[in-house]
Structure 1
Amino acid sequence: MWFYCSLFLLSGIMLHIDFTTGIVLLVIIGTSCIIKTKMKQTLLFGFIFVCIGYLNYPNIHLKPMSSFDINSKLSPYYNSIIHFTDKLKIDGDQVKAIGMINNQTYQIYYRIKNKQEKSQFIYNSPILKNCNIRYTFNNPLPNTNGLKFDYNTYLIQEDITGVINIRDSFLKTCSRRQLNLIETIQLYRESQIQRLKQLKIDNVDDIIAITLGETRYLSNERMEELKHIGIYHLYAVSGSHVAIISVFLFKLLLRFNIRYDHVESIVFCSLPVYAIMTGLSPSVLRAVSVVMTYILIKRIVKLDSIQILSITFIYFILYNPFMFFDIGFQLSYLISYFLLLSAPIIQSFTLIYRVISINIISQISSLIILIIHFNTFQWLGFLSNFIFIPLFELCLFPLLMCFLTIFSIFNDMPDLILCLVSKVLSFTIFLIEWFNRFNVPDLVVGNLNIMIYLCLFINLTIVSICILKRQIKTAFFLFVLTIICIVFPNQTDKVVLEFLDVGQGDSMYAFHMDTNEVVMIDTGGKVEVNQEKWQTKNQSISYTKSVLIPKLHEKGFNSIDYLIISHPHKDHMGELLEMAEQTTVKNLIINKGTWSNKELKLILNKIKENGTNILDSQQLKQIKVGNSLYKFYNQNSPDHKDKNETSILTEISVNKFKILSTGDATILNENKILKDILANYDILKVGHHGSLTSTSEEFLKKVNPKVCLISAGRHNRYGLPKKKTVNKLLNHGCKVYNTQHDGELEVLIDKGNLKYMTGLSKYNKKAYKK
């Protein structure tokens, strides 16, 4: 009964997200309930839980905005006592933490002033201390590019009131506070982490991640390696680790002739401690709650594992409705449901087929969640998990837990164990690096309708059933057919242009739905600031990771057919190398003669190694993509000291519409091509971010654009766009869009129509809907 109650609760939540999908799901669950249970009371409870799910759905209140250009004036300073939690990370010269002020939770940022202060933070951390701080409130922007992930929504889901920036040094004001039991264990966990960091052993950061669930010390390279081969979940302590710990404790204590009921009590009390020691992740909380609920309930009534899992699901959703949106929570419960429902059949299999079935079903059940949130699924993970799951769960994790236990008890470690751990861990890292040599393209699925996601889930459930029935051919056929249906949508005549908001830089995509090809002009990029080694971050967020790749994947593409770089300045090509590493760039179009210095040639050589074909615009002149034509101007420009003057101007002709992208071309360049370009363009990508060096009167008269798009960073130090330039555009009757105010500009070209939608309008549509 509890299993169906959890499903009815889920359908109530779905009614709030999408009413039609919720109704369909409710009909499916109700029909199954009638056929399976034939109990009217289950339907009655089901109706109650549908209402609870619908009414308990957490409303996320988003405020409509008139502009993304939030007032640059500094907010007033405040002074308060802050209670730091155990969530604190030091990366380069930045401190990121979670703290409490007046019983409200805040995300905290602080910029370390010097190398000495960084050492003080490391050796005298403010974790679980009270500190007197002077701070300002930070108003984080919503997602200005219309992407799925929105930082403001994330803060609400995590029950974080806001973001604050600490202005002045505060370590000297910190003092110990009286800790409760949970905080005491958290402090012990942190002390263990710092003691482990002092050990003279390779890959100690990996040990900390695998045993204590703390990944903040892992390098950016290691994180990318784990994600690339689909085993990042093995570094995050999960339900399988809880199962290993529970079984080990049970068997160990029973060996010492301790009574079974006493063993249960010891395990019952130990698991919450383990959950705190591993960071209270949703998957660990789920697993611990299942074991603890089982121990409690079995003394009252006999329930199977699926019913106990359902009870914990209902409890967590009712206790904290926002937990439903946590990706780890979703993955943990969905995979657990699939495996528990499959368990009676899997137990009859041979050992090899049992291992294969468990891995495949785990992968299939996670596919839908990964596609919904990330639009990708790693094929390489299918193979790598066959090797790494047994390696981690049967060898590495037990060994490292014994290592941690000995280290915690004796404050020291015998050389023999250190050597053994080092050897096994080195072999594991070798395997991880070896698997990363394989460049297997991920499955990429664009954003789909919620109803299609439901159909996909039903199809994958049928595939799992076929695998359990050993109908391998049928399962393979259905799986391949499902993938084909979601990856290869019907071609249309539409072309979608996305002028992205990448701060003080330029980048745009052209998605050609008629040929399923992608053309990109410039990648954007951040101007590098000279920093000392201690200031450099291990885990930095680039535009490639936060905007460019997510936008590509959400549109359903995994490669770029043509990438045009207007000129070699960081704000136009700073992300080029990372883009070539993160996705397939088939052709790179540049004016080769202007890429003359040693650094630029090194970048081109690295891009060649990734299999990219480098084309010289001086010889190319134009390219044709489906029914669209790209023509290049100013590509014969000699190599100027001012690289802006070497900018390639790109004219895009789609049906009867014409778009002109000018890079950072100067008035001199505009005058040179004035006689060659067409007249009366529909869209002008304004040159040089709206500076005074571009967009002359003569040029505007010839181009005569209907829409002008300026890409410029908010509160940039150059004061762009210049008011004089904006007024000039308005005087020529141009509708002006500015990424500072409007975020991205999406242009849908469909037959004889142009439709415009900005990041601001997408956000407000969501805000009013909420």
Structure 2
Amino acid sequence: MISVTGIVLITFLVIVIIFQFKRKTIVVLMILPLFFLYTQWYEQKNTSIFPPHMTDFQGAIETIPKINGKVISFQYKTSREILVVRYKMNSAAEKRSLKNLEIGTYCFLNGTLKEPEPRSHYYGMNYREFLHNKNIHWILEPSQVDTGSCVKDNKKSLISSIKIWRSKSIKQLEAHFTKNTAGLMNALVFGYREKIETETLESYQKLGLTHLLAVSGFNVGIVSYFLYLLFVRLGMVKELAYVLIAIFLPVYIILTGGESSIVRAGIMGMIALCFIVFQKKISPVVLLSIVCITMLLWNPLYAFDLGFQLSFLMTFVLITSISLYKTTSNTQLLLITSFICSLFSFPIILYHFFEFSIWSLPINIVYIPFVSLVLFPVAIVVAAVAHFIPSFLYVLKIPVQFLFEGSVSILEMVQGINGTLLLGRPSSWLFLFYFLAILYVFYEWERKDRFQLRFCIPLIIVIMLQACFPYLNPSAKVSFINVGQGDSILIELPFRKAVYLIDTGGTIAFDKEEWEVADEEYDVTKKIVLPFLKGRGIRRLDGLILSHADMDHAGGTEFILKNFPVGNLYLPENKNLGELEIEIIESAKQNRIQMSYLRKGMQWGIGNSQFVVLHPSEKNSSANNRSVVLWVKLYKTSFLLTGDIEKEAEHEIINHFSRLKADVLKIAHHGSATSTTNQFLELTEPRFAIISSGKNNIYGHPAKEVMNRLKEQKVTIYRTDENGDIIFEATKGDLKIKSVK
């Protein structure tokens, strides 16, 4: 797999080898192929032992069960491999019963094995790969989860006992504090971030503070320091104190969830303490290299974990940059440390999150000491009080919540001040140039023995190159975004002269009982469309065009209008406005966005691009038949985008446009049998057809009749439910098509 993760790992290893081993570089480089052969062998073994038809399982709950609405999920460890269990509960009583499930409980389950969903979005998470890297290959969907078939193990192992204590401590904090306060404390103390509110996580992410919520080396250092003070106060000799701390660190790794960053810090701490006890010295880089190689030998797939990459890369950079810390001022030390970490993490954050906050450096300078020296110790004290003196929590509740909620409010206020550099996902070659430019900064800094702003000129050039590249690109792109059962189409004109989004997708809400409501309802526009825009490096929409005001086409419009710059909002001309359409118009007015109404005959052009509105007409018709139908020509390639029109609207278009041709036809109404008549296909003569529909949707889209008509006309079919995101790239003499799958 060629990816940014591989580039990061190889870059890290090569830097370590060249700068640390010097004359032995060639020897070590010769060993690298052996390591890659080992990873290939490991990967071949990383397969499931279970056959797909297996239905009966017995094992123990491995992770804290997560309940979201009517769905409960957890990792389930059998004697042979780990599964992810996902179960839809049937009643409020069943939900109350299953809330009592905890880590270490043995359960007998009967159900169906399903493969994790593969990647279906260019700028989304690859869930199948994520689980594969954790040696998980199946999702088990039980027919029933009965607490009567689950028993608690009385002969718990030490590891299991620690995990159970961790789980109870997490739940105890959740029971006494607000969701956000408990979530932040659990993240800092136990490495458990599941219950932090989405807005808070986004604030930390956008301001480059996510690393503060990951238990890592600093946490290990603080805990070890306080333990050392405690043991010395108890009269222990230093050597015994070091040994006891080294013994405690594996327990601390389990307590904090065992993520790669804490494993790295914990192992380094144990080895360093052993060397101190035996009065031996070891180079920090050699120590880091030993830990890195050990972890990769244990599981080579750690290399694809973002936490592993950032943890080792940042630690290595700080260790090898020690010659730059020629200051006795703590403020200057903090400033240099924050600058180095922000600079080296910049390309990786950009690759995964597409944007970078210019407030990252000043906020890190303030929040690193605040979180490390205030929030973290307070969280530890509160967790200890919750375990030993729970009644005292009522005294701590108000001041602790004020402290944590106040810190979040400050972050949200800072985030509200526009300071985000949105560049999109850098290509592999650009990503490499970023690292070369950053290495040049540090090379010159060390060589000149002082930092000068001119060292950053190559880095600034790379940033400007990425920012300007879309405006130098002569190709046009039409992206059919996989939003499930809905539509969303992005059009980027040559040299990015304009960007149009046609429909936003939207999540259709069904009536639910109170117990079924999720903590956070899935928003397809927020989770898929917005990341697609940002991943493409788009900073503004010149036009947001709504084909019609159905929820699956326009349900995310208000979210886009509030969270993304939009120049113009285009709506179908319609005298009978529905509830959603009224809300959209009000939102556009509040956000001071200009509105235009589209009707048959309207057209506009930009450069070599042409837009013609074929529908709706003044004729009164159903909501679907009032959809905007747009004919778009980009160079020599034409696209016909049909919304949800049905055969009546198709016949009307046939009667008015007798010479209508289209190379690419967006099949109307998600492939419903009410559209895409033979006459319409014969008129348009498409080479390619796009069907935007949800996987296993309840409507049976696309209809077999439509598929048969397209096959009879020998049209090449692309489907978002099968192909994921689909991108057409048009140039003067060529048309390229690519999809995620």
Q: Same fold (TM over 0.5)?
A: yes
Q: Which moved more, 1:377-386 or 1:461-470?
A: 461-470
Greater relative contact order, per chain length (Cα 8 Å cut-off, separation 6+): 1
Q: Which residue number in structure 2 is paired with residue 307 of structure 1?
A: 286
Match of 2:214 among 236, 252, 258: 236
Match of 2:560 among 569, 576, 579: 579
- Counterparts of 1:490-529 in structure 2, within 5 Å, are 491-515=472-496, 517-529=498-510
Q: Which residue number in structure 2 is paired with residue 162 of structure 1?
A: 138
Q: Which amino acid aligns with 1:102?
A: S
Residue 461 in structure 1 maps to residue 434 in structure 2? no
Return the alpha-carbon distance in structure 2 between the equivalents of residues 372 and 571 of structure 1. 29
Contact 2:600/2:614 (CA < 8 Å) preserved in 1? no
Q: Which amino acid aligns with 1:752?
A: G
Q: Which residue number in structure 1 is paired with residue 413 of structure 2?
A: 434
Q: Report the CA distance shift for 1:15/1:112 in structure 2 as closer, same or farther (over 3 A).
A: closer
Contact 2:549/2:580 (CA < 8 Å) preserved in 1? no
Contact 1:145/1:501 (CA < 8 Å) preserved in 2? yes
Q: Which residue number in structure 1 is paired with residue 269 of structure 2?
A: 291
Residue 402 in structure 1 maps to residue 381 in structure 2? yes
Match of 1:97 among 74, 77, 85: 74
Q: Report the CA distance shift for 1:502/1:15 in structure 2 as closer, same or farther (over 3 A).
A: closer
Q: Report the CA distance shift for 1:13/1:526 in structure 2 as closer, same or farther (over 3 A).
A: closer
Q: Report the CA distance shift for 1:417/1:50 in structure 2 as closer, same or farther (over 3 A).
A: same
Q: Which residue number in structure 1 is paired with residue 630 of structure 2?
A: 650
Q: Which residue number in structure 2 is paired with residue 698 of structure 1?
A: 679
Q: Report the CA distance shift for 1:28/1:398 in structure 2 as closer, same or farther (over 3 A).
A: closer
SS in 1 for 2:129: helix
Q: How far did residue 355 of structure 1 move?
A: 1.8
Q: Report the CA distance shift for 1:393/1:42 in structure 2 as closer, same or farther (over 3 A).
A: same
Q: Which amino acid aligns with 2:455?
A: A
Contact 1:514/1:626 (CA < 8 Å) preserved in 2? no
Q: How far did residue 395 of structure 1 move?
A: 1.3
Extract unaligned runs of 5+ from structure 1. 1-11, 64-74, 761-770
Q: Which amino acid aligns with 1:48?
A: I
Q: Report the CA distance shift for 1:236/1:594 in structure 2 as closer, same or farther (over 3 A).
A: farther
Q: Which residue number in structure 2 is paired with residue 213 of structure 1?
A: 191
Residue 532 in structure 1 maps to residue 517 in structure 2? no
Q: How far did residue 197 of structure 1 move?
A: 2.4
| CA root-mean-square deviation | 3.1
Return the alpha-carbon distance in structure 2 between the equivalents of residues 153 and 679 of structure 1. 44
Contact 1:629/1:652 (CA < 8 Å) preserved in 2? yes
Return the alpha-carbon distance in structure 2 between the equivalents of residues 479 and 611 of structure 1. 37
Return the alpha-carbon distance in structure 1 between the equivalents of residues 4 and 598 of structure 2. 53
Return the alpha-carbon distance in structure 1 between the equivalents of residues 27 and 54 of structure 2. 55
Task: Count the aligned residue pairs.
Answer: 729
Q: Which amino acid aligns with 1:669?
A: A
Q: Which residue number in structure 2 is paired with residue 180 of structure 1?
A: 157
Q: Which residue number in structure 2 is paired with residue 261 of structure 1?
A: 239
Q: Which residue number in structure 2 is paired with residue 358 of structure 1?
A: 337
Return the alpha-carbon distance in structure 2 between the equivalents of residues 595 and 260 of structure 1. 81
Q: Which residue number in structure 1 is paired with residue 30 of structure 2?
A: 47
TM-score (structure 2 length as normaliser): 0.90
Residue 379 in structure 1 maps to residue 358 in structure 2? yes
SS in 2 for 1:747: strand
Contact 2:663/2:687 (CA < 8 Å) preserved in 1? yes
Q: Which residue number in structure 2 is paired with residue 393 of structure 1?
A: 372
Return the alpha-carbon distance in structure 2 between the equivalents of residues 621 and 37 of structure 1. 69
Residue 223 in structure 1 maps to residue 204 in structure 2? no
SS in 1 for 2:640: strand
Q: Which amino acid aligns with 2:95?
A: K
Q: Which moved more, 1:352-361 or 1:148-157?
A: 148-157
Q: Which residue number in structure 2 is paired with residue 544 of structure 1?
A: 525
Post-superposition Cα deviations, 1:82-126, rounded to whole Å, max 9, x if no partner, equal 21113421111111100122321111101111112212222x214
Extract unaligned runs of 5+ from structure 2. 47-51
Q: Which amino acid aligns with 1:56?
A: T
SS in 2 for 1:514: helix
Q: Which amino acid aligns with 2:320?
A: L
Return the alpha-carbon distance in structure 1 between the equivalents of residues 460 and 675 of structure 2. 52
Return the alpha-carbon distance in structure 2 between the equivalents of residues 684 and 728 of structure 1. 13
SS in 1 for 2:416: coil
Return the alpha-carbon distance in structure 1 between the equivalents of residues 619 and 421 of structure 2. 41
Q: How far did residue 176 of structure 1 move?
A: 1.0
Q: Which amino acid aligns with 1:647?
A: S
Contact 1:86/1:187 (CA < 8 Å) preserved in 2? no
SS in 1 for 2:63: strand
TM-score (structure 1 length as normaliser): 0.87
Return the alpha-carbon distance in structure 1 between the equivalents of residues 502 and 301 of structure 2. 39
Q: Which amino acid aligns with 1:180?
A: S
Return the alpha-carbon distance in structure 2 between the equivalents of residues 736 and 44 of structure 1. 53
Q: Which moved more, 1:619-628 or 1:384-393?
A: 619-628
Q: How far did residue 53 of structure 1 move?
A: 4.1
Q: Which amino acid aligns with 2:319?
A: L
Q: Which residue number in structure 2 is paired with residue 86 of structure 1?
A: 63
Q: Which residue number in structure 2 is paired with residue 66 of structure 1?
A: none
Return the alpha-carbon distance in structure 2 between the equivalents of residues 360 and 18 of structure 1. 23
Q: How far did residue 227 of structure 1 move?
A: 2.5
Q: Which amino acid aligns with 1:713?
A: G
Q: Which residue number in structure 1 is paired with residue 125 of structure 2?
A: 149
Q: Which residue number in structure 1 is paired with residue 639 of structure 2?
A: 659
Q: Which amino acid aligns with 1:51?
A: L
SS in 1 for 2:630: strand
Contact 2:667/2:689 (CA < 8 Å) preserved in 1? yes
Contact 1:137/1:163 (CA < 8 Å) preserved in 2? yes
Residue 199 in structure 1 maps to residue 179 in structure 2? no
Post-superposition Cα deviations, 1:438-492, rounded to whole Å, max 9, x if no partner, equal 233343233413x432221121122245567443321343432221123322613
Q: Which moved more, 1:94-103 or 1:667-676?
A: 667-676
Contact 1:60/1:153 (CA < 8 Å) preserved in 2? no
Q: Report the CA distance shift for 1:454/1:179 in structure 2 as closer, same or farther (over 3 A).
A: same
Q: Report the CA distance shift for 1:14/1:705 in structure 2 as closer, same or farther (over 3 A).
A: closer
Contact 1:379/1:443 (CA < 8 Å) preserved in 2? no
Return the alpha-carbon distance in structure 1 between the equivalents of residues 45 and 522 of structure 2. 25
Return the alpha-carbon distance in structure 1 between the equivalents of residues 573 and 98 of structure 2. 48
Q: Which residue number in structure 2 is paired with residue 443 of structure 1?
A: 422
Q: Which moved more, 1:198-207 or 1:476-485?
A: 198-207
Q: How far did residue 269 of structure 1 move?
A: 1.7
Contact 1:126/1:171 (CA < 8 Å) preserved in 2? no
Q: Which amino acid aligns with 2:263?
A: L
Q: How far did residue 715 of structure 1 move?
A: 2.6
Return the alpha-carbon distance in structure 1 between the equivalents of residues 720 and 301 of structure 2. 32
Q: Which residue number in structure 1 is paired with residue 88 of structure 2?
A: 111
Contact 2:176/2:393 (CA < 8 Å) preserved in 1? no
Q: How far did residue 570 of structure 1 move?
A: 1.4
Post-superposition Cα deviations, 1:505-540, rounded to whole Å, max 9, x if no partner, equal 222222334226422211222321211222122244
Q: Which amino acid aligns with 2:461?
A: L
Return the alpha-carbon distance in structure 1 between the equivalents of residues 343 and 4 of structure 2. 25
Q: How far did residue 554 of structure 1 move?
A: 3.6
Q: Report the CA distance shift for 1:42/1:599 in structure 2 as closer, same or farther (over 3 A).
A: closer
Q: Which moved more, 1:664-673 or 1:160-169?
A: 664-673
Residue 488 in structure 1 maps to residue 457 in structure 2? no
SS in 2 for 1:198: helix
Q: Report the CA distance shift for 1:604/1:398 in structure 2 as closer, same or farther (over 3 A).
A: farther
Q: Which residue number in structure 1 is paired with residue 547 of structure 2?
A: 566
Contact 1:126/1:174 (CA < 8 Å) preserved in 2? no
Contact 1:594/1:646 (CA < 8 Å) preserved in 2? no
Q: Report the CA distance shift for 1:433/1:731 in structure 2 as closer, same or farther (over 3 A).
A: same
- Counterparts of 1:325-336 in structure 2, within 5 Å, are 325-336=304-315
Q: Report the CA distance shift for 1:258/1:638 in structure 2 as closer, same or farther (over 3 A).
A: farther
Q: How far did residue 323 of structure 1 move?
A: 0.6
Q: Which amino acid aligns with 2:651?
A: N
Q: Report the CA distance shift for 1:608/1:263 in structure 2 as closer, same or farther (over 3 A).
A: farther
SS in 1 for 2:613: strand
Return the alpha-carbon distance in structure 1 between the equivalents of residues 442 and 420 of structure 2. 24
Q: Which residue number in structure 1 is paired with residue 49 of structure 2?
A: none
Q: Which amino acid aligns with 2:27?
A: L
SS in 2 for 1:519: strand
Return the alpha-carbon distance in structure 1 between the equivalents of residues 535 and 687 of structure 2. 29
Residue 127 in structure 1 maps to residue 103 in structure 2? yes
Q: How far did residue 435 of structure 1 move?
A: 2.1
SS in 2 for 1:167: strand
